[in-house]
Structures are given as structure tokens and as C-alpha cells.
Structure 1
Amino acid sequence: MFIKFLLIFLIGIPTIFCAKLPDYIKPCKLDDANLNSCAYNNAKAAIPRIAQGDPKYNLPSLSPLHIHQITLGGSRSLNLSLSHVDIIGIPDVDLQTLGITFNDSIYRLTASANVPKLNVKGDYKINGRILILPITGNGPANINLDDVFFEVEYDLKPETKNSKEYLKLVNDNIEMKVKHVTFKFENLFNGDKRLSAEMDKFIANNSQEIFNELKPAIIEVIKTVCLSILKGITNKVPLDELFVK
């Protein structure tokens, strides 16, 4: 349920109208033998401007990305939520590969990218068990993810709206790897210094395992951010503007 609300927050209620491709995103020719090279170069050049946000296309500012609330742990053993969240570092993304293929009326977009460092700050509430230990608390949280690698895949299919063809997302997938992660939760156990110190040590020694437990929810957040950018363009820009003849 939360992810649906986050998606609405980021991309707004879809409004279909014919818009030109933003001048900071250059189109490519679908029949160009160097299509992938064209798409990669144009996308890489557009990232700094996309990161600034664009209300006309419902693109959120990514410098930083502000999110009202994120639920990272919703299992039977752990409830972890963050509110008033800032995600810092997205504009530093290094696009490594980008490919576009077309087959059986499906446009497939694949890409890989690396973010040197993501910093997530917010107010947390946690209750339950983290791996094997009980945990509770609320207060400021600081999560650092170093050397974050993403692979994404989107399938899009043309659909006609108001006599124009637009690309509609029909399938998506994202994979994520993190080289190193740290968690800092202040005011654990209602400020009990002894219990907090023990938990801080446990979290530091098991940070990768804790990340793996939270990873599905983190991927959903990243997926929603990526979709906000993709749909911000494809919901409003017709196919013949995205790929010129």
C-alpha cells in the first residue's frame, strides 16, 4: 500500500496530454545502427538536468529526494519506518550501459548504473527483532550505502490515446548490489546507553545481513523513483517524439 502512495506522490495522477520531449533530452532514431550509443550518450547528458526536477513532467527533484515516509521493514519479525526522509547522492549516478531493443511490439529498455554513495536520513520508528535480537526505538536515523550497483529492465508497449501512440510500461525488474552499508539509529531502547551500545555493535558486525533483510523494500523504493522518471516522460510524450524518423 505504501509503495502505491509513494508512486502517486512522486509522479502525481497521470494526465494525458501531448507534450514535446524536454529540450534537455535528445531523441534518437529507432532505425539508427548506433541507437544504443545514441541513447546512452543522450541519457548520460540529461541526468544532471533530470536531477533538478521538472514539474511539467512530474519529475521530482533528486537533489536531494524528499519522501514523506518509507516502510522498510514490514515482516512479522520487524517493523521499521522512516519519515521526513532525504535521500542524498542520486544525482551522482554513473550510467554504465543502456540498451534499447524492439521485438513483437515491445520496446525493451535495459540499463546498469553505479552510485558511489547514497545517504538516507530521516526519523525512524523500529520495533521487533533484527535478525535474532529484539530491538525498539525512535529518533534520528542515518543509513549509508557505498558503491551501489543497479541493473534495470523495462518492457514498454505502444498504446493509442487521443489519436497518439504512447509507451505503456508492461513489465519491470531491478537488481541491486551494495558493497558496504552502515546503519545508525539514535535513541534505541529509549536512550538506554548499555543496550544501545550493544545493538550498535551487533548492527555494525551484521550490516550486510541486515541490509539483505531490508533489501526487497529498499528495491521497491528505488524502483518507484526510477518509474517516476520514466513515466513522467512516457505518460506525456508521444512515441513519435521519443524516437524520430
Structure 2
Amino acid sequence: MINNYSKIYISITNKLRCDKVYKNDAPTHTDSVKPVLLCPIDKTAYIRNELFKNYFLCFQILASNFPICKLNPKELPECFAKAVEDTLKILKNPVPELGLPSIDPIEVESLQFQGGSGNIVLNQNLKNVKIFNMPSTKVTKAEINIEGYEFNNVLHTFVPEMKFTANCELIGKILLLPIRGNGNLDLNIYNLTAVISMRGGQVEKKKITYLKIDNTTCALTPGLVKIRFDNLFNGEKTLGDNMNKVLNDNWKEVFSEFKAAYEEVLAQYVHNLAGQVFNKVPLKDLFPGP
């Protein structure tokens, strides 16, 4: 496991937004005229807040586009599992009505960490990280509790193949061999099991109940990992190919050195996205009574 990894920054580069239109036939050049942001189905009301706030108001109006589960304890786990799967499939493509970009790929601005001990040390500085194939996620089991003031859920998921790409600066060692490079990283994870856990509760705002998330964790268990670092040893192909072979021959040990960082990325992404939705969409709209 990683002994120490540094800051993790997550940025959704495609902004969540409502459609941009202009009031009173204003010019369409955004540099000189600030647009009025409208939810598409309401041409009379306009919203002057930030893009994220507009998205969530649109989400409330257009929530019928997404699966909804009734708050029936016996049926909720199975319904919730299917709803998550269906929602991920919907988000494979942008949803213009909600101003939602595709989640395929998820985009992360940067990821830096230092990790390793003994025979494997891999210090990495990743930029322009992209995570592909999230919409292919299968939810094999869901546990969810929305009783009293609690909100806890655990999603057991399976992804046949998840792909990470990034620009990578790498320095370290493996089996006493020094390794250094500055190029592209391709990481393919096959037969991936991921368990995502959320713990939170319920809060009231203006006599309306909302869900809140206090903590989110993610645990990854891969069946196979294939790794390729380009431009190792200043582009020396023979040395680079040999080092990539060593990395793949020892993929379990290598992946364990940065697994915690990727778990943190996915956990933060889910936490931030779901948390912002729960903060704006009332519980009764997300999980109506039976």
C-alpha cells in the first residue's frame, strides 16, 4: 500500500450547465454580454446563479429523465442497484436538457503521489487523467438505509474493463532497477470489482428534508492490470520495453503502490457529484414514498 501520497485535485473539465440563451435577443458573443441561463422547459423563468446551481435547479425540474425508486424498504435495494446502472448508461452521452457532460471519460486535472517501499518505489505526477468505461458498470448488489435520520449505502459493482490515460512524470525504482520517464501512461484494469460506500444522514432546510453525505470510500480489487509507460529512459525503446515487461510481470505489487490514490479519485468524484445533487434535490423527489 502507499505509505504517503500527496495532494489530489479533481476537476470536471466539461462544466455542468443549463442551455445558454439570451434575453431580449441579446448578441451571442459571450465575451461582452453575460448570458441569462434558462432551464429549457421553463422559458419564462431565468436563473442568475453559478453554473452548478443552474444545473441542480434544472435537475429538480427534469428529474423524470432518470430512474426513481420509491421508499419501500423491501424493494429499495434492488431498485436502487438498477437505477444506478441505468443512470450511468444515460450519462454515457451528454444530457443537454440538464447541461450534463458525458461521464465517459471522467476527467481529472491532476494527480500527484509518492508511494512505495522496498523493491518498488513509484513517484508519479499525472496530468490530464481520463477514466473510461464507467457506463459499463454493473451493480451486483446494493445496500441502502434511509431510515430515521440515517443515510447509508454500499454499492458492490463490477466493471469488465476500466481504462486510465494520463500524461505522466515518473521517477522511482523497481526490483533495484531505476526508472524514470516523461510521457503517456496507459493503464487497463480488467474484471474490476469496486465497492463504494457512503455514510451520511438527513438534514432539514426550510422544513424540507435533504440527504447529506459525510464520508465516501472506494475499494478496488482488479482481476488483471496492464500498464504501459511511454518514453521511459529518454525514449530508449529497448530499455523502455523491458521495463514495461517487468512492470506487467509484477502488476499486483506495482498496482498496490498507487491503488489507494485511484480509490481516492473515484471516491471524491462520487462524493462531490452525489453530494451536490443531494444538497439541492429534496429526499421526497429522489425517493418518493411507496
Say yes or no: TM over 0.5.
yes
TM-score by length of 2: 0.73
Give the match's secondary structure for 2:227: strand
1:71-120 Cα shifts (integer Å, max 9, x gaps): 2x323743212222222211111121122123451111111111111121
- Letter matched to residue 198 of structure 1: N
1:184 and 2:225 aligned: no
Instruction: Mark the CA change 1:176 to 1:120 in structure 2 (over 3 Å): closer, same or farther.
Output: same
2:277 corresponds to 1:236: no
1:47-84 Cα offsets, whole Å, 9 max, x none, are: 2113335588785521222222222x323743212222
Greater relative contact order: 1 or 2 (C-alpha under 8 angstroms, separation 6 or more)?
1
Q: Which runs of 4+ in 1 moved over 4 A?
A: 7-18, 53-60
Structure 2 match to 1:110: 154
For structure 2, list consecutive stretches of 5 or more residues without a partner in the other structure: 1-5, 17-49
Distance in 2 between residues matched to 1:232 and 1:53, nearest whole Å? 18
Task: Classify the secondary structure of the residue corresponding to 1:244.
Answer: coil
What SS class does the counterpart of residue 129 from structure 2 fall into? strand
Q: How many residues align?
A: 243
Residue deviations 1:168-198, cap 9 Å, x none? 1122222110000011111101123343233
**What residue number does 1:202 align with?**
246
Q: Distance in 1 between matches of 2:99 and 2:111?
A: 20
Q: Take 1:51 and 1:178, find their aligned partners in 2: how far apart are those partners?
A: 23
Return the alpha-carbon distance in structure 1 between the equivalents of residues 100 and 203 of structure 2. 22
In structure 2, the residue matched to 1:75 is 115
Normalised TM-score (structure 1): 0.85
Asked if 1 retains the 8 angstrom alpha-carbon contact of 2:162 and 2:190, the reply is: yes
Is 1:126 aligned to residue 126 of structure 2?
A: no
Q: Which runs of 5+ in 1 are unaligned?
A: none
Shift in Å, 1:164: 2.5
CA distance in 2, matches of 1:228, 1:59: 15
Q: Judging changes above 3 Å, is the alpha-carbon distance between structure 1 residues 192 and 40 closer, same or farther for their aligned structure 2 residues?
A: closer
Which amino acid letter does the alignment assign opposite residue 6 of structure 1? I
Tell whether 2:132 aligns with 1:91: no
DSSP 3-state at the match of 1:63: coil
User: For the structure 1 residues 99 and 25, does the alpha-carbon distance in structure 2 shift closer, same or farther, using more than 3 Å as the test?
Assistant: farther
> Aligned ranges for residues 128-147 of structure 1 at < 5 Å?
128-130=172-174, 132-147=176-191
Q: Following the alignment from structure 2 to structure 1, what is the Cα–Cα distance between the partners of residues 143 and 273? A: 17
For 2:10, the equivalent position in structure 1 comes to: 6
CA distance in 1 between counterparts of 2:67 and 2:133 reads 24
Equivalent-residue separation in structure 1 for 2:277 and 2:99 (angstroms)? 8
| Alignment partners' CA distance in 1, 2:11 and 2:210 | 20
For residues 65 and 174 of structure 2, the distance between their equivalents in structure 1, rounded to whole angstroms, comes to 45
1:132-160 C-alpha deviation (Å, 9 max, x unpaired): 43211101221111111111211121112
Q: Which moved more, 1:149-158 or 1:230-239?
A: 230-239
> Which residue pairs with 2:106 in the alignment?
65
Aligned residues of 2:85 and 2:135 also touching (Cα < 8 A): no
What does the per-residue CA deviation read over 1:187-236, in whole Å, with 9 as the maximum and x for residues that have no partner?
10112334323312211211111001111001111112322442242122
**2:152, 2:15 → 1: CA distance?**
22
Point out the structure with max Rg over C-alpha: 2
- Find the residue that maps to 1:26 and give its secondary structure: coil
Match of residue 87, structure 2, among 46, 66, 82: 46
Identical pairs, percent: 26
Partner in structure 2 of residue 25 of structure 1: 66
Q: What is the alpha-carbon root mean square deviation over aligned residues? A: 2.8
